[in-house]
Amino acid sequence: MRMLITGGAGFIGANFVHQAVREHPDVRVTVLDALTYAGDRSSLAPVADAITFVEGSVADAALVDRLVGESDAVVHFAAESHNDNSLNDPSPFVETNLVGTYTLLEAVRKHGVRYHHISTDEVYGDLALDDPAKFTPETPYNPSSPYSSTKAGSDLLVRAWVRSFGVQATISNCSNNYGPYQHIEKFIPRQITNLIDGVRPKLYGAGLNVRDWIHVEDHNSAVWAILDRGRIGETYLIGADGETNNLQVVQTLLEVFGRDADDFDHVNDRPGHDMRYAIDASRLRDELGWSPGFTDFRTGLEATVDWYRGHEAWWRPAKAAVEAKYAQTGQ
């Protein structure tokens, strides 16, 4: 089986490539990644000899056509992925998330290749804190940010290519991931690396916003289950019942670092900040028999803290620039 993995030098993609090499030796992996600020070839160093790496964009039609033509399956992780960046400059989000997905879809249509589309729960908008509901595959799309709207648009392209052209595709919409190799612009690794540096964590607004945290290994094991046993044309929601508000995350990290529970700063809120995400993953659990391996958030966080402590050379080069950028918006 020849698998093309886009965005394999990013957070979730790199962990997926590691999992592929470790657990699926029958799969021959080719990674296509543009190595933007979020991509890091060193994340693939431990598996470099076992894969083929191609530097390039998913929006490059000639390159994508060639690579898809040499593959049996495509798993599409590549994206511009950070909400805050999308508020500063939406244009790369449109190019990569919309044009890039369109380019891949045209190639899988031409070559008759199996396609799995990685997406986010943010396409559904947000839920109120006092709402007992969770997102289901039937929840209407209602994205809030330039990031989530381009992801929503890319999902709709996939659905249309399935229905109109019979493309052999599946979609997954996952909740917030944490774990090794996550860029330090994101909430959890930003606060871990702040704490390592003796800096106070930064909480947007009151910190009551809820995210449904899942360990990246569990997201990826669910993607393998869908590739293995998923129904073509179907959408699967991926989540591990990890609803936690941002204040609780910061206070757990403060405890892990042996710091006082109030040793953090409230900073400017994100414009349009989604209040709560929550996933009903029963289709994945019931139909495909998937379940998460990380069920205790604190244990997963501690392992993640250990990883960042042990991999300072990986994140240190980006730290000053990330913090300088946040300082411009008072965050």
Judged by CB under 6 A, the residue of 15, 120, 144, 193 near ligand TDX is: 120
Among 3, 5, 9, 288, binds ligand NAD (CB under 6 A): 9
CB 1 within 8 A of CB 27: yes
The answer to whether residue 67 forms part of the interface with ligand NAD (CB under 6 A) is no
- Residue 122 catalytic? yes
Q: From its phi and psi, is residue 236 left (phi > 0), alpha (psi between -120 and 50) or beta?
A: beta
23 included as an active-site residue: no
Alpha helices in the chain (DSSP H): 11-23, 61-69, 83-88, 91-93, 101-111, 146-165, 187-196, 216-229, 246-256, 282-288, 297-310, 312-328
297 binds ligand TDX (CB under 6 A): no
How much is the CA Rg of the chain, to the nearest whole Å?
A: 19
Query: Catalytic: 102?
Result: no
Count of residues that bind ligand NAD according to CB under 6 A: 31
Query: Which of ligand TDX, ligand NAD, none sits in contact with 11, Cβ below 5 to 8 A by type?
Result: ligand NAD
For residue 249, count other CB atoms closer than 10 A to its CB.
Answer: 22
- Which C-beta is closer to ligand NAD: that of 66 or that of 200? 66
What count of other Cβ atoms lies within 10 Å of the Cβ of residue 299?
Answer: 11
DSSP string, 73-84: EEEE------HH
In angstroms, rounded to a whole number, what is the distance separating the alpha carbons of residues 290 and 283?
9
According to DSSP, residue 118 is labeled E
Mask for 79-118, x = binds ligand TDX (CB under 6 A): --xxx-----------------------------------
Q: Is 6 in a helix, a strand, or coil?
A: strand
Q: Which does 292 bind (CB under 5 to 8 A by kind): ligand NAD, ligand TDX, none?
A: none
Work out whether 122 is an interface residue with ligand TDX (CB under 6 A): yes
Residue 211 interaction partner, one of ligand NAD, ligand TDX, none, beta carbon < 5-8 Å per kind? ligand TDX
- Contacts (CB under 6 A) with ligand NAD, residues 109-148: 118, 120
- Give Cβ neighbours of residue 242 (< 8 Å, ≥ 6 apart): 175, 211, 212, 213, 214, 297
Q: Is there binding between residue 96 and ligand NAD (CB under 6 A)?
A: yes
Binding mask 162-181 toward ligand NAD (x if CB under 6 A, else -) reads: ------------x-xx----
Of 186, 219, 276, 283, the one binding ligand TDX (CB under 6 A) is: 186
Of the two residues 247 and 303, which places its CB atom closer to ligand TDX in the complex?
A: 247
Task: Kindly state the smallest distance separating residue 157's Cβ from ligand TDX, in Å.
Answer: 17
The letter for the amino acid at 79 is A
Catalytic residues: 121-122, 147
